[in-house]
């Protein structure tokens, strides 16, 4: 079980860094299951974020046409190269994923898949970058994340986990929880449970928006003060510049109770609301 990963850590005398989220997978069965979820074929170009010493990269390299592995920590690169020695279809990039332009990559079939056992300190920024930055070349993303984050991604309106991340993930993709992974499958063991989640990128968005940035501003405003009613939360978000009366009138048009909180609105309702608010800003 994950003998290679443990051996490499010893051989290169690696001190794993908590601040970089370095919890390495040592369970080969879990590795195989993650790669299964991504449905990798030899036509695929796979981008792996944070390969570490390559616990998962080896399995990806066996199945994909090409793997691009982006690792921030240069201390790990020699061990990673050692582990991947026999594969000629892997490019290792020693960079922060936040500085990589994902759009540059195209696989044989056109699109790319992203697979990662994500560093937990930066999960949401990485996912938001992948969703937002015009990455229309991504088909499927499979991530290991903290269990609670997976719950937030799939949460439906009215549930306590439903928030801005749920709306963003569900606007861009169809999220599906695959399976849970306990701490003992990693070295060192994380203090939290983990879940593998598959995000299948939508070819067309589930709702029509007049202005996408405006939609996400409304969502951010609504969840920024989630204990307040939607009317107060939107009114207090000064960048929107809306009076309470205006907001109430629009909610009435949409058949939404004026005492409703943002967390009860579906993505469709957020879309209708933001479109009407946007239109009224254009008229003024």
Question: Is 150 an interacting residue with respect to ligand SAM (CB under 6 A)?
Answer: no
Q: Which of 83, 62, 88 is nearest to 71 (CA)?
A: 83
Q: Which of 245, 282, 251, 243 is nearest to 269 (CA)?
A: 251
- Report the site for ligand SAM in 1-20 (rule: CB under 6 A): 20
- Tokens in use for 206? 């589930």
Question: Is 234 an interacting residue with respect to ligand SAM (CB under 6 A)?
Answer: no
* Residue 272, annotated as binding a ligand: no
Q: Which of 257, 249, 254 is nearest to 280 (CA)?
A: 249
Q: Which is nearer to ligand SAM, 81 or 96 (CB)?
A: 96
Q: How far is the CB of 32 from ligand SAM (least distance, A)?
A: 12
Q: Which is nearer to ligand SAM, 21 or 163 (CB)?
A: 21
Q: Which is nearer to ligand SAM, 117 or 275 (CB)?
A: 117
Interaction pattern, residues 170-189, with ligand SAM; x per rule: CB under 6 A = --------------------
SS3 210: coil
Q: Which is nearer to ligand SAM, 9 or 271 (CB)?
A: 9
Question: Is 143 an interacting residue with respect to ligand SAM (CB under 6 A)?
Answer: no
CB 64 within 8 A of CB 84: no
CB 53 within 8 A of CB 117: no
Residue closest to ligand SAM, measured at CB: 50
Interaction pattern, residues 46-85, with ligand SAM; x per rule: CB under 6 A = ---xxxx--xx-------------xxxx--x---------
List alpha helices for the chain, DSSP H. 3-11, 28-37, 57-63, 77-83, 123-132, 147-154, 164-172, 212-224, 230-236, 244-253, 267-283
Neighbours of 109 (CB within 10 A): 12
Interface ranges with ligand SAM (CB under 6 A): 20-25, 49-52, 55-56, 70-73, 76, 96-98, 117, 119, 122
- Report the binding-site residues for S-adenosyl-L-methionine: 23, 25, 50, 71, 96, 117
């Amino acid at each position: 079980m994950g003998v290679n990963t443990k051996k490499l850590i010893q051989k290169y005398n690696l001190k794993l860094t908590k601040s970089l989220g370095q919890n390495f997978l040592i369970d080969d069965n879990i590795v195989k299951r993650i790669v299964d979820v991504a449905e990798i074929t030899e036509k695929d170009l796979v981008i792996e974020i944070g390969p570490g010493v390559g616990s998962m990269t080896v399995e990806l390299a066996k199945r994909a046409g090409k793997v691009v592995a982006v690792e921030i920590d240069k201390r790990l690169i020699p061990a990673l190269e050692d582990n991947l020695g026999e594969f000629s279809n892997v490019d290792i990039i020693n960079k922060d994923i936040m500085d990589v332009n994902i759009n540059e990559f195209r696989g044989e079939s056109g699109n790319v898949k992203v697979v990662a056992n994500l560093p937990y300190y930066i999960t949401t920024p990485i996912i938001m970058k992948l969703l937002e930055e015009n990455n229309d070349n991504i088909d499927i993303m499979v991530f290991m994340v903290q269990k609670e984050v997976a719950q937030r991604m799939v949460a439906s309106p009215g549930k306590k986990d439903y928030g801005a991340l749920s709306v963003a993930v569900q606007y861009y993709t169809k999220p599906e929880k695959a399976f849970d992974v306990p701490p003992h499958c990693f070295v060192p063991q994380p203090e939290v449970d983990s879940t593998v989640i598959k995000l299948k990128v939508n070819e067309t968005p589930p709702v029509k928006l007049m202005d996408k940035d405006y939609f996400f501003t409304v969502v951010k405003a609504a969840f920024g003060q989630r204990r307040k009613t939607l009317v107060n939360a939107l009114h207090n978000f000064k960048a929107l510049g809306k009076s309470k009366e205006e907001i109430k009138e629009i909610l009435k048009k949409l058949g939404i109770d004026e005492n409703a909180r943002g967390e009860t609105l579906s993505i469709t309702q957020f879309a209708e609301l933001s479109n009407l608010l946007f239109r009224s800003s254009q008229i003024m």
